[in-house]
Amino acid sequence: MFWILVLIATVVFTYFVLIKPLNYWSDRDVPQYKFWITWIEMLLGFISYRSISENIEKVYNDFPGKRYCGLYQFFIPGLFLRDPDLIKQLTVKDFDHFTDHYQMLPENSEPLWEKNLFSLRGEKWRNMRSTLSPSFTSSKMKIMFGLISECAKQFVAYFQEKNLEVVTVEMRDTFTRFANDVIASSAFGLNCNSLKEPENEFYLMGKEVTNFTGLWSNIKLMIIFVTPKLSQVLGLKFFKPKVTHFFKKIVKDNLDSREKNGIIRPDMIHLLMEARK
């Protein structure tokens, strides 16, 4: 009798916890993968079998002729839009009904994340957007072209100094370092040369803040996304404390120095300082 009850409890648990949540869209006549395929896809995503762009491409190709389809992110249902006209309708005509992004992280848990536009919701989002919009006009963006050009010249000079007819490079690493230098200069007001100084701190911290691969990272992300309250109890952080401290210190020191010495540099920090006035 005991084992019969255990079997019944296991079947009930499996259905209501592991199967039924993954039929959310099919119950509403929205096309989606079969629940067992969804489980396989989640497992492949968990081990980073494919990149995010490859996953998006696969979903798009797996539902030909459909305007939309249902997806799941760790049991959280999401709607995947395939039709350009429908995307335009939701993002332009019906924008007032779809203003908020999904709140991926618990509120007040990540200083580096909670104040950006993708994280803010409702009135906080509207206020921040109205504050930032004047800083992102085409004319103000152009003032940073000089900084980007300097990074490009530095990039070219590095290879010219090698004085070789043929230079073999690892493209992803090389252009990641170039992008790092552009971001450091145009956004944070720092001068870096990540090709000459491959272990510079800004580059290493940049790698840390964008690294979401690995088994432990995936387990941590799953706990944060699925059970945010549990993640707070366990003290799990989306970003490592040393990374948060590093970038906060860079911005704070930069702001203090510019305000104290009257420094004006045509970069993002300057634009945001102007917007703050």
Give the pLDDT score at 111: 67
Do residues 129 and 116 make contact, with C-beta atoms less than 8 angstroms apart? Answer: no
Examine the pLDDT at 6 and tell me if it is beyond 90.
no
pLDDT value, residue 67: 95
Residue 104 reports pLDDT greater than 70: no
CA pair distance 200, 180, nearest whole angstrom: 11
Average pLDDT of the residues in 60-86? 90
pLDDT reported for residue 70: 92
Cβ neighbours of residue 26 under 8 Å, at least 6 residues apart?
A: 32, 70
Q: pLDDT (tens digit, 9 = 90+) per residue, 142-175?
A: 888 999 999 999 999 999 988 778 888 899 999 9
Task: Report pLDDT for 19.
Answer: 79
How far apart CA 209 and CA 215 sit, in angstroms, is: 16
Please tell me which residue, 39 or 242, carries the higher pLDDT value: 242
Q: Can you give the pTM of this predicted structure?
A: 0.73
3-state secondary structure the chain: CHHHHHHHHHHHHHHHHHHHHHHCCHHHCCCECCHHHHHHHHHHHHCCCCCHHHHHHHHHHHCCCCCEEEEEECCEEEEEECCHHHHHHHHHHCHHHCCCCCCCCCCCCCHHHHCCCCCCCHHHHHHHHHHHHHHHCHHHHHCCHHHHHHHHHHHHHHHHCCCCCCCCCCHHHHHHHHHHHHHHHHHHCCCCCCCCCCCCHHHHHHHHHCCCCCHHHHHHHHHHHHCHHHHHHHCCCCCCHHHHHHHHHHHHHHHHHHHHHCCCCCCHHHHHHHHHC
Give the residue from 214, 237, 18 showing the smallest Cα distance to 106: 237
Confidence of residue 5 (pLDDT cuts 50, 70, 90): confident
Q: What is the pLDDT of residues 45-65, one digit of tens each?
A: 766 677 778 888 999 999 999
Report the residue count for the chain.
277
pLDDT at 240: 81
| Residue 28: count of CB within 10 angstroms of its CB | 10
- The mean pLDDT of the chain is 84
pLDDT bucket at 14, cuts 50 / 70 / 90: confident
What is the structure's pLDDT at 265?
Answer: 87
Q: What is the pLDDT of residues 220-268, one digit of tens each?
A: 777 777 777 777 777 777 778 888 889 989 989 998 989 888 888 888 8
- β-pair type (76-81, 68-73): antiparallel
